[in-house]
Amino acid sequence: MGALVRGNRDLIKTMNRTLLLNIIRRARAITRKQLTDTSGLSVGAVSQIVNELLRQGWLLEHDDDTDTGGRPRTLLRLNPAAGYALGLKLMENRVVAAVTNFETDVLYYRDYNFDFDDTPANLSRILASVIEITLAEARINRSELFGVGIGLAGVIYAQTGVVHHSPFFGWRDVPLAKLVQERVELPIYVENDVNTLTITEQLFGAGYNRSDFVVVTVGRGIGMGMVLNGQLYQGASGGAGEIGQNVLWDGSGSTLTLEDVAADPAVVRAVPGCHDLAAVIARADAGDSMARDALAQSGTAIGMSLANVVNTLSPELIILSGEGITAGHYRLEPMKAALNRCTFNGLLDRVTVVVEPTDDRAWARGAASVVISKVFESPTVEARVTV
């Protein structure tokens, strides 16, 4: 009985610690009194946990420079140097790596090109080598590292680190986290690449104080990450958010998905003589009507699909991201027009749309954010996953 009571007390303390860290993260800077009032915990409990976090280097205290009346307030904030995360974005023939601090600021970035043998064993060996090289070049001690996040396209069961399906590598049910962890002996987390960007936005980006928002990426594929009621939504098997596979047409012996008609490869195929999206954009800038029409048709299809998302989920924020956003107004204006035209009356009134073009550095940062998110995760969530 004594061990059980002690275990319950330890769990409650850990939950309270996580609660306070999340409040400080969302507020960015907060007084002890504000922290106590917001958390609903006792003054003594808050004081004890905060003092421990200060001693352990998780928090910093500083005077409020903006306070102009009387004695300056003392504010608490996260310590960016409390620990580090390494993020890897895995692509068909490249790995991009980023090391971030506790607030997901990128401190180191590198792009690795490889001739991949697609077997999981060989690729896990390459990833382990990239991890060791990156840590050495970034001069990060393993003891300071929270872990390693790996982001890749596909259906990922993040709770177990298993890749259910990878469209690039043709994998089925590959335990990628386990394969890499056996080589480097560090915590390894694997997540769908769009979800990694969504986690970044939830922690420290445009979605950091939003309960319901979606991130939609446009590029070689079209994907979506969802935060619903404050939680990343992954679905029963990790496949939630595959908006690019939504069927737009199914008839006459053919099926067309959103990616078939609106992703970057579809746009490039529609403009003869163009080999990539940059060439299509250049032709559009030069006044080529075919290039402009291809981008506009893509934007319209995306806007219609976004309207379905709003009609179904009613998010308060849509973040548009991905390499394909560089097409600018040629794609975005028709997209916004279709979104406005096809959304049910009134549902769009309180939806904010934010456009954030994404590069490889952002993808790698997103993978690192998966690791940082574990620090802010309630132990009850972890317990539910591992039972």
Q: Three-state SS across 297-312?
A: HHHHHHHHHHHHHHHH
Structure token pair of residue 288:
């080529």
pLDDT value for 93? 83
Distance between terminal CA atoms of the chain? 22
DSSP state, 73? P
Q: Strand pairing partners for 111?
A: 96
Tens digits of residue pLDDT in 130-171 = 999 999 999 999 999 999 999 999 999 999 999 999 988 889
> How long is the chain?
387
pLDDT value for 251? 80
pLDDT value for 385? 37
Alpha helices in the chain (DSSP H): 2-27, 32-39, 43-55, 120-138, 176-184, 193-204, 258-262, 264-269, 277-285, 289-313, 329-342, 360-375, 379-386
pLDDT value for 1? 44
- pLDDT below 70 — which residues of the chain? 1-7, 67-70, 116, 380-387
pLDDT value for 386? 33
Structure token pair of residue 214:
């979606």
pLDDT value for 373? 95
Strands in 231-233's sheet, in edge-to-edge order, are: 231-233, 222-228, 213-218, 317-322, 352-357
Nearest to 107 by CA among 66, 152, 144: 144
Tens digits of residue pLDDT in 354-385 = 999 888 999 999 999 999 999 998 776 444 33
* pTM, two decimal places: 0.90
Catalogue all structural domains in the chain, each as residue range(s) with its CATH number. 2-78 (1.10.10.10), 83-199+363-386 (3.30.420.40), 208-359 (3.30.420.40)
69: Cβ contacts below 8 Å, ≥ 6 apart: none
pLDDT value for 340? 97
